[in-house]
Structure 1
Amino acid sequence: MVDYEVTVNTGNRVKATTSNNVHIKLVGTDGESDRTLLKSTVIFRGSVSKYTVSCPNSLGELVLIELEKRPSKILPEDSWFADKVEIKSPENDVYIFPVYCWISDRKTHRYREGKALRIFEESHSLGQYAREQELSQRSADYDWDFYAPGVPYTIKTDDPSTLPDEVKFSFTKKTQFAFTAATALLELKLKGLVDNQENWKNLDDINDVFRNKDTPLSDYVQEQWKEDWLFAYQFLNGVNPNLIQRCKTLPENFPVTDDMVVIPDGSNLSNELQQGNVYLCDYKNLDGMPANTVQGKQQYLTAPLVLLHKRQDDKLMPIAIQLKQTPAEDNPIFFPTDSTYDWLTAKIFVRSADFSEHQLNTHLLRTHLLAEVFAVSLLRNLPMVHPLYKLLISHTRYTLQINELARDALIGPTGLFTQFFASGGEALTKILERSLSSITYRSLCIPDNIADRDLQDVPNFYYRDDGLQLWSIIFKYVQGVIQYYYKSDDEVQQDSELQTWIGDIFEHGFLSQSQTEIPQRFTTVPELTKFVTMVMFTSSCQHAAVNSGQYDYGGWMPNTPVTLQRAPPIEKGTTSEATMLETLPPINVTAQGMAAVWLLSRQSLDFVPLGNYPETHYIEETPCQLQMDFKKELDMLAFTINNRNKSLEIPYTYLDPKNVENSVAI
């Protein structure tokens, strides 16, 4: 007889303990063990339990294990969460089997040894069978669902509670999320704000919405929100840094001339355009979109054009705003030299348009919905033993559940967008459809995106500076891992699971739209490396950049109105403080909008920063070392960013790696 030493690591999760009988079978290249009961009445959460499995002869190289859990006659069936199983063979070889799954039924569950294997490397018949069975079950568990025309497909599920256990919130996350949402709503109810449909009488009263929930930056924004420099600064380092672009030729529908604008230091608009000192923000994506009706009242959503100028002191300042796309007498161009409330009202309409463009295109589509597509395709097409599964699975954590919650509480029939926001209702899916039809692969890759917008040298652009460094660090890590597993382009082309993964993404995420230039298959190692880098960056860094500052810049409602109640002015000299207050959303809509951005900006207690991997999926020395090197480089970048921020009036913290979550989880 020979003995195998079996060590079972149970996850330290709420309800991970099992009192059921757990059986194990070891399968090797030369045979398999009997189905063996692990001798313990209770396996406790967070425990490390040791057992012995005896066999008549050596099993050869271990290929997989089978786990079964069955209730005893007197105890009910429960769920058990195993992290991993380590086995020491009689030959003193150590095998690690990643599990990281809930076992809640009486079925046989097979888990592969931790060494990554591509499909064309499978040589053991049971290994091949286990691979096929795993993907067959996953295809059923993670099916696609049609959401709306022109919009990426979603996970098929009735509600968040019916998602597979592995992708649900932890008990900590679920409890904190529900408590945070409930306390915010209760506070608003106690203050009598939820049902108050009156307009604001003065701006100071807005302080009472969330008096004790301000951040240092939200307070600063409240003080400075009328200032032109802060208005312009947000296009670079606010929550929507993806719209601004250098402008060397004015669009034909934005007829600003030299004599209309004042350029400091004796220059003029034509010269500044030639010198590359003029920038454009164009909200054409919102043009013609039907604004929502809120509480029985028609709302207004514009599609502005904004012209910005970089002065000699490197400060970016707005110089012209047109609130609708088509030039006309009733569509005046506003300038800083106009009356105080004409200019302020124009900026308010821009900020409200930016809220809709940011939330639906930059935030929802380009991070949440794409991250969901990446996650569903990964779970459907790549088994746990695949090297790309091991690389990317940590970057899918909680994404499916947070998106299901968003479809219910934010964009569903009774969601906040539908009830209270200008771009809710009919406009919502139209904006998503238009946004997806204009998306490009290059726009999802920050080096290409910055180059295409010609923003390589605009000063004080911290999103660009930190984002490019993060992309470089992620790329280096991904490149190292992929080149370790794929030694040639031919091996990439041979991997049918990999090709199915990208094909599924192209079909269900980008709706087979070839103009996006999203790969439909991979032919080279560099192609694969770039795409995987984009997936990781989108699911972590890009989401952090466009999500984490929502309350900082939206906690003071006039800076980011979720809707507007009056039509944009059609002639100058018709605005005042009174018309501004009538234009802003009423009290209850303000409260709901502020509560939403506050909730969505909260960091979870079980937040996992980029580069931290609590689950052990790799066992080979090289990828493990690459993972450690990745973490070290991120720590160095965090140190550099922190030092830079000490000298900034507004520290840019959203892409500090310590503040970037591994996945789209909020």
Structure 2
Amino acid sequence: MSGGGNEGGCLWRPCQRRLHKGPLLSCPHRTSDPPTPPPAGKTASPGTLLLSLRVLVPQEKEFEHDIPEDLGPLQFVKLRKHHSLVDNAWFCDHITVQGPVAFQEATFPCYRWVQADSVLCLPEGTARLAGNNALDVFQKHREKELKERRQIYCWATWKEGLPLTIAAGCEDDLPANMRFHEEKRLDFEGTLKAGALEMVLKHVYTLLSSWNCFEDFDHIFWGQKNTLAEKVRQRWQDDELFGYQFLNGTNPMLLRRCTSLPSRLVLPSGMEELRTQLEKELQNSSLFEADFILLDGIPANVIRGEKQYLAAPLVMLKMDTSGKLLPMVIQIQPPSPSSPTPPLFLPSDPPLAWLLAKSWVRNSDFQLHQLQYHLLNTHLLAEVIAVATMRCLPGLHPVFKLLIPHIRYTMEINTRARTQLLPDGGIFDKAVSTGGGGHVHLLRRALAQLTYCSLCPPNNLADRGLLGTPGALYACDALRLWEITARYVEGIIHLFYRGDDVVRGDPELQAWCREITEVGLCQAQNRGFPISFQSQNQLCHFLTMCVFTCTAQHGAINQGQVWRAESPGP
């Protein structure tokens, strides 16, 4: 049995094993007492071991529990935490029972908090489909578990027209098993405090000494310094770094190869040479675009009584023979009745005008990166997967066991975002141009464009024409990680689903699929999301998307925020 002392994560370590005449239970736990036998007059039901423990301090113990009769293969363990004066909750990892015969061992996963006078009924941990239970008691346990979970994990509407979320007004309202462990909480909150302190100190510095030249920009780089920060400081104005960001920066999801010149790119008279250059690059398949049209018409925020501004730029880029992606022209806003031929900015323009145009692009990239590709396409999607998993798949289901390590902490981190970053009057409203309601409009537009294929790198990169693009490190790594994840998923799924008919006949799996598409994602079947699984391949592809989105994709979109090259304030 493992638990208690590991506040930062699950303990996946082997317990000591010895052979005894009776079953041996190995348990790291918070207790200084031997196991308490069942009360007088009570005996364990056949095939089930009933165990009660008092939890006091973190430690690991191994003890022998003699049982006079042969129980046969153990199917369940009931775990009870006695009430005490200091009623601390106890996080139990697992219980391992070693029988009298070599290799006769049973493991009962828990990985839950044991609270108050509660009793947990833990089945033996081998994954099973609903129709593969030799004992009817397993089916009853699955049904009881899901009934209880549906009462605990409820859907809620955060904003109309957006994916549903867990019903929790704040992190304290979340189920205990979805909360940060102490080590994670301290690390998370410590990082926030350190970042906030650095921002305050820099703000005070800028109040005392305003910027008058670009050299003053160096002042923001004091504090945590590294090689990357120094490189950004030296090259943040370069066109080469500007183009590189679209391939491998914080947001590598917008760039696409052109198959024709964009209709919004209106070239006025006098720019025939630019048109010729664009058409030449187009013929060579070396012309790319980054279109921020999703921002067009989004209402801008008002911060401290001052109206903010939002651009919806278009950037045309070329890839030269050395593999460098370089900007050719920037259009800040699309054509409109009041401006049918909006101004264009070129690298040959005065340096400050060209730099200002690039700064507006980076500002717009911040808005789409944070809201569309980070919040919606990873965080909110992962939360839908997490809530549906807890509501529809019992702990014995192989898909539950496959997914649960990848959706850990999802509900708390998202709840904190909704209560700290995104509430009315929160950080987004106080500091970001799309705050004050514009962010909700943008998320709704982004959801309308969110397709199943767009979440799968082989489809997404092919659609954007980036397969085989020189220097596209994100694209290369995403494909490799997708393939690795797919092989892992297929290996697990083929152990339990020996044919397409088994997939179609799994009621828990089919309910989970519908819960995601029809409920959590608000009828997303018209955007390619499945409402049922008809084959092994279809199931494996969907699960690969789930795991990839919650792990590799979020890492690619999130971790780059440590340094955002040449990005002005939001």
Report the TM-score when normalising by structure 1: 0.77
**Tell me, what secondary structure is at the counterpart of 2:299?**
coil
CA contact (8 A) 1:229 1:317 kept: yes
**Given the alignment, which residue of 558, 561, 582 partners 2:568?**
561
1:64-118 deviation per Cα after TM superposition (whole angstroms, max 9, x unaligned): 111111125xx43221221111113355521111111110121221111111111
Compared CA separation, residues 152 and 249, structure 1 to 2 (3 A): same
CA distance in 1, matches of 2:562, 2:221: 11
- Match in the other structure for 1:52: 65
**Given the alignment, which residue of 168, 171, 175 partners 1:157?**
168
CA contact (8 A) 2:454 2:460 kept: yes
**Tell me, what secondary structure is at the counterpart of 1:201?**
coil
**Tell me, what secondary structure is at the counterpart of 2:263?**
coil
Aligned residues: 545
Compared CA separation, residues 20 and 167, structure 1 to 2 (3 A): farther
**Tell me, what secondary structure is at the counterpart of 2:547?**
helix
Shift of 1:334: 1.2
Shift of 1:196: 4.9
**Given the alignment, which residue of 104, 119, 125 partners 1:114?**
125
CA contact (8 A) 1:277 1:311 kept: yes
- Match in the other structure for 1:387: 398
1:586-641 deviation per Cα after TM superposition (whole angstroms, max 9, x unaligned): xxxxxxxxxxxxxxxxxxxxxxxxxxxxxxxxxxxxxxxxxxxxxxxxxxxxxxxx
CA distance in 2, matches of 1:183, 1:269: 47
- Match in the other structure for 1:234: 245
Shift of 1:128: 1.8
- Match in the other structure for 1:545: 556
**Tell me, what secondary structure is at the counterpart of 2:290?**
strand
CA distance in 2, matches of 1:200, 1:345: 16
- Match in the other structure for 2:82: 70
**Given the alignment, which residue of 5, 13, 25 partners 1:7?**
25
Compared CA separation, residues 117 and 229, structure 1 to 2 (3 A): same
Counterpart AA for 1:10: P
CA distance in 2, matches of 1:292, 1:53: 70
Counterpart AA for 2:329: A
CA contact (8 A) 2:500 2:534 kept: yes
- Match in the other structure for 1:574: none
**Tell me, what secondary structure is at the counterpart of 1:268?**
helix
Shift of 1:406: 1.1
CA distance in 1, matches of 2:187, 2:211: 32
- Match in the other structure for 1:577: none
Shift of 1:403: 1.0
1:507-535 deviation per Cα after TM superposition (whole angstroms, max 9, x unaligned): 23321032210111111000000000011
Work out whether 1:85 is the aligned partner of 2:129. no
CA distance in 1, matches of 2:425, 2:31: 39
**Given the alignment, which residue of 315, 319, 325 partners 1:306?**
315
CA distance in 2, matches of 1:299, 1:199: 21
CA contact (8 A) 1:18 1:43 kept: yes
Across the aligned residues of Structure 1 and Structure 2, the Cα RMSD in angstroms comes to 2.7
Q: Which structure 1 residue ranges, 5 or more long, are not aligned?
A: 12-16, 564-666
- Match in the other structure for 1:132: 143
Work out whether 1:31 is the aligned partner of 2:46. yes
CA distance in 2, matches of 1:261, 1:357: 32
Work out whether 1:97 is the aligned partner of 2:108. yes
Structure 1 residues 176-187: aligned runs within 5 Å: 176-187=187-198
Structure 1 residues 194-205: aligned runs within 5 Å: 196=207, 200-205=211-216
Compared CA separation, residues 202 and 413, structure 1 to 2 (3 A): farther
- Match in the other structure for 2:15: none
**Given the alignment, which residue of 258, 262, 271 partners 1:260?**
271
CA distance in 2, matches of 1:10, 1:261: 76
CA distance in 1, matches of 2:345, 2:146: 58
Work out whether 1:281 is the aligned partner of 2:290. yes
- Match in the other structure for 1:568: none
CA contact (8 A) 1:258 1:269 kept: no
Shift of 1:228: 0.8
- Match in the other structure for 1:335: 346
Compared CA separation, residues 37 and 236, structure 1 to 2 (3 A): closer
Shift of 1:330: 6.5
Shift of 1:538: 0.5
CA distance in 1, matches of 2:37, 2:241: 62
Compared CA separation, residues 258 and 268, structure 1 to 2 (3 A): farther
**Tell me, what secondary structure is at the counterpart of 1:31?**
coil
Counterpart AA for 2:116: D
**Tell me, what secondary structure is at the counterpart of 1:549?**
helix
- Match in the other structure for 1:290: 299
Counterpart AA for 1:320: V
1:228-272 deviation per Cα after TM superposition (whole angstroms, max 9, x unaligned): 111110000001111011102112111248973767xx9732232
CA distance in 2, matches of 1:209, 1:135: 52
Shift of 1:186: 3.1
Compared CA separation, residues 163 and 30, structure 1 to 2 (3 A): closer
- Match in the other structure for 2:529: 518
Work out whether 1:317 is the aligned partner of 2:330. no
**Tell me, what secondary structure is at the counterpart of 1:541?**
helix
CA distance in 2, matches of 1:547, 1:472: 21
**Tell me, what secondary structure is at the counterpart of 2:425?**
coil
- Match in the other structure for 1:491: 502
Identity in percent: 35
Counterpart AA for 1:489: D
**More divergent stretch after superposition (446-455 vs 106-115):** 106-115
Counterpart AA for 1:463: Y
CA contact (8 A) 1:10 1:43 kept: no
CA contact (8 A) 1:9 1:48 kept: yes
Counterpart AA for 1:276: S
1:558-608 deviation per Cα after TM superposition (whole angstroms, max 9, x unaligned): x22233xxxxxxxxxxxxxxxxxxxxxxxxxxxxxxxxxxxxxxxxxxxxx
Counterpart AA for 1:59: L
**Tell me, what secondary structure is at the counterpart of 1:54?**
coil
**More divergent stretch after superposition (323-332 vs 241-250):** 323-332
**Tell me, what secondary structure is at the counterpart of 1:413?**
coil
Shift of 1:20: 8.7
1:322-350 deviation per Cα after TM superposition (whole angstroms, max 9, x unaligned): 11122635720111111212211111111
CA distance in 1, matches of 2:196, 2:547: 34
**Given the alignment, which residue of 172, 175, 180 partners 2:186?**
175
**Tell me, what secondary structure is at the counterpart of 1:455?**
coil
Compared CA separation, residues 71 and 139, structure 1 to 2 (3 A): same
Higher RCO (CA < 8 A, seq sep 6+): 1
Counterpart AA for 1:365: L
**Tell me, what secondary structure is at the counterpart of 1:84?**
strand
- Match in the other structure for 1:448: 459
CA distance in 1, matches of 2:105, 2:269: 75
Compared CA separation, residues 250 and 91, structure 1 to 2 (3 A): same
Counterpart AA for 1:340: P
Compared CA separation, residues 405 and 30, structure 1 to 2 (3 A): closer
Compared CA separation, residues 138 and 366, structure 1 to 2 (3 A): same
Shift of 1:4: 4.3
Compared CA separation, residues 275 and 36, structure 1 to 2 (3 A): closer
- Match in the other structure for 2:16: none
Report the TM-score when normalising by structure 2: 0.89
Counterpart AA for 1:376: V
Compared CA separation, residues 261 and 119, structure 1 to 2 (3 A): farther
Shift of 1:371: 0.9
- Match in the other structure for 1:626: none
Q: Which structure 2 residue ranges, 5 or more long, are not aligned?
A: 1-19
